[in-house]
Chains A and B, each alone.
Chain A
Amino acid sequence: MQTAFFILLVVVAGTSGEMFVSRAMKGLGEVTSFRPAAIARVVLRALRAPWMWAGLGMMALAFFSLLVLLSRANVSFVVPVTALSYVLAALGGRFFLGEQVSANRWLGVCLVCVGVALVCAG
């Protein structure tokens, strides 16, 4: 039961953390210059975005949950299950970030999800 709780925490906190980072970065607008100074400015602006800190906080929570999880369950069980985050990410992209997830993209996401689970389990 506790294992299920930590798996949920890893998947949900990890995916929402990445979604929050994505929201922060979308808010900065498309990067067009890749000179080091321009990249440094983008990073500094990203660090001023509240969504970025919310995202980093969630990712830290997911990381510590993963450590706890790995101390009590087998890696060969835990890591394949976390592939569920690909499906959650597509849902989040659709409903939280307003992206259009086409049928092809959905199919691709599901194949990736099953494939990652198999690679990690195999």
Chain B
Amino acid sequence: MASGQQLRGQQLGGKTALLLFLMVVFGSSGDTLIGKGMRAVGPPAAWSVAPVLSFLSHAAGAPAVWAGFGCLLLFFLSYMLVLTWADFSFVLPSSAAAYAVVPLLGHFFLSEQVSLLRWTGVALITLGVGLVGNTPPRTTRAEPADGTPLEAARAKGD
């Protein structure tokens, strides 16, 4: 029984780690691409209807914005899938690894200057994600929240 549970925990850990990795990759590249695209577009000239519409149409014409949007859709898909089994209070802090990865990528690939304060933040996030990652990903029973028996819900879908 104990070894069965342990094996189950390891399997859960493997696919949870894979989907968290996809979330971090697609989430941070989506943000970076949209950031890059929007910087080229610039802010709306004023916060009224016509300038905001022109701002939106410029944003919709930028390929980087579309690529970033696609990445964010894949991010959200991975997020939805991992939440079907893993705790929200496990997934959300773990996905903060993106905040540590982006400055690292910026430093090593784009030779950006990273301040001491930011390095401290990266260290704290790494430590925090490590601590959260050592807790079991799932602490709730496999039971739907809306009261539908799981077997019925599964039979409908699969």
Output the least CB separation between A18 and chain B (Å): 7
Question: How large, as a class, is the contact surface on chain A?
Answer: 35 or more
A6 interface hit (Cβ, 8 Å): no
**B132 lies within 8 A of A115 (CB):** no
**A31 lies within 8 A of B81 (CB):** yes
Output the least CB separation between B104 and chain A (Å): 11
B121 interface hit (Cβ, 8 Å): yes
A22-45 CB mask vs B (1 if < 8 Å, else 0) is 111111111101100011011101
B6 interface hit (Cβ, 8 Å): no
B62 interface hit (Cβ, 8 Å): no
B153 contact set on A, CB distance < 8 A: 27-29
Q: In the complex, which residues 80-122 of chain A have their Cβ closer than 8 Å to any Cβ of chain B?
A: 86, 89-90, 92-94, 97-102, 104-105, 107-122
**A111 lies within 8 A of B127 (CB):** yes
Q: Please name the residue on chain A nearest to B52 by beta carbon.
A: A67
**A25 lies within 8 A of B83 (CB):** yes
**A119 lies within 8 A of B83 (CB):** no
Q: Please name the residue on chain B nearest to A94 by beta carbon.
A: B89
Contact A93 to B87, CB < 8 A, known contacts A104-B135, A119-B99 = yes
